[in-house]
């Protein structure tokens, strides 16, 4: 490092023109970094805007296919699917029903846009009557009995044609259970993107409107991580990698850039960051008031997530930014 100092050093020299700035830019946001979340529900010609997420919709399978084509045409390589089931029960049975809503959507998307990577969220919270991520007995979310159900869900997604399954439940041992099931039942090439360091965050509020998955009692603190912990994120990530995770994720993104940075220094696997529903809602609300420039803020926000070390970003802004960075 040169320490000649001013006036020999003038850092502004390389900031003088857009071309110079582009030459020394250290981080670039590419359309291939993006993953777009989609919410699918039963019915046909259903398109219902999520109240707390303007511009984001619950879509029936016919519309999901149209949306998948639009996403592909923008050059976005992947979607993440969430299902809103017809029935909710104690065993989350629609979650692993071969005719369940996610399974139908995966098949339809893979048929219409075979090159689009389809990732499915694997969790029980939208499918259990009580809105919890696992099997509940006596008011307690049970870890080990949930693993078998999650593995069944992941397998049914794989058999429908999913390229990647993404367990978001935060049960201990979930990646191992899913990997084992996929390998035993003939889906060894289906990858696992683990929501490995997922915090018990208030930033998921709007998502729970979108996916209709608010817990009927209690909260998610007995399985999701304490927001105050950072070392524990490393433990979670290293364990999931040991169990077979191909891609690991930190979630939420923006208030957790230190975690993204820390994990990037620690592991070799691709790292994803989920810029969650609450992050989307914050920007949208301020932009609607005319208080912030949405386009500029989104680029700054996503660039920061990449600069911290994420390879992939799950964001509800994927479609909006794709054309700006292509
Ligand atoms: C399911 C799940 C949640 C999110 C992704 N998968 C909600 C939660 O854990 O409560 C949040 C996504 C978002 O807020 O955008 N467990």
pLDDT in tens, 138-163: 999 999 999 999 999 999 999 999 99
Q: Are 151 and 181 in contact (CB under 8 A)?
A: yes
For the chain, domains (ranges, CATH) are 28-325 (3.20.20.70)
Helix axes 231-243, 257-266, angle to 10 degrees: 50
213: pLDDT confidence band, cut at 50, 70 and 90? confident
Task: Decide whether any atom of ligand 1 lies within 6 Å of the 204 Cβ.
Answer: yes
Q: Which of 123, 146, 227, 250 to mutate to test the pocket of ligand 1 (most atoms within 8 A of CB)?
A: 123
Nearest ligand 1 atom to alpha carbon 278: 14
Handedness of CA 136, 138, 142, 146 (dihedral sign): negative
For ligand 1, the distance from its centroid to the CA atom of residue 99, given in whole angstroms, is 23
Residue 2, pLDDT > 80, answer: no
Nearest ligand 1 atom to alpha carbon 276: 15
Active site residues: 198, 251
Task: Decide whether any atom of ligand 1 lies within 6 Å of the 276 Cβ.
Answer: yes
- Kindly report, residue by residue over 164-195, the tens digit of the pLDDT: 999 999 999 999 999 999 999 999 999 999 99
Residue 1, pLDDT > 80, answer: no
Task: Decide whether any atom of ligand 1 lies within 6 Å of the 125 Cβ.
Answer: yes
């Amino acid at each position: 490092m040169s320490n000649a100092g001013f006036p020999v050093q003038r850092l502004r020299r390389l900031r003088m023109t857009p071309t110079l700035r582009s030459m020394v830019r250290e981080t670039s946001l590419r359309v291939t970094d993006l993953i777009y979340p989609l919410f699918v529900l039963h019915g046909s010609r259903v398109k219902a805007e999520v109240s707390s997420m303007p511009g984001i919709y619950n879509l029936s399978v016919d519309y999901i296919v149209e949306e998948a084509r639009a996403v592909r045409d923008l050059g976005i390589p992947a979607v993440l699917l969430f299902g809103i089931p017809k029935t909710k029960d104690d065993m989350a049975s629609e979650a692993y029903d071969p005719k369940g809503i996610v399974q139908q959507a995966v098949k339809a998307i893979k048929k219409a846009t075979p090159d689009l990577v389809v990732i499915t969220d694997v969790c029980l919270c939208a499918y259990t009557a009580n809105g919890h991520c696992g099997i509940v007995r006596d008011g307690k979310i049970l870890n080990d009995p949930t693993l078998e159900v999650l593995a069944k869900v992941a397998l049914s997604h794989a058999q429908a044609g999913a390229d990647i399954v993404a367990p978001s439940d935060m049960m201990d041992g979930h990646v191992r259970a899913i990997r084992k099931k996929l390998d035993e039942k003939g889906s060894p090439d289906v990858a696992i993107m683990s929501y490995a360091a997922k915090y018990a965050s208030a930033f998921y509020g709007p998502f729970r409107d979108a996916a209709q998955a608010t817990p009927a009692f209690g909260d998610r603190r007995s399985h999701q991580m304490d927001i105050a912990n950072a070392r524990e994120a490393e433990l979670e990530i290293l364990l999931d990698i040991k169990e077979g995770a191909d891609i690991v994720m930190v979630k939420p993104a923006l208030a957790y850039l230190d975690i993204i940075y820390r994990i990037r220094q620690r592991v070799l696997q691709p790292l994803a960051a989920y810029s969650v529903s609450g992050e989307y809602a914050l920007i949208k609300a301020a932009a609607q008031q005319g208080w912030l420039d949405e386009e500029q803020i989104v680029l700054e926000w996503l660039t920061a997530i990449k600069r911290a070390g994420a390879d992939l970003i799950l964001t509800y802004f994927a479609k909006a930014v794709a054309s700006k960075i292509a």
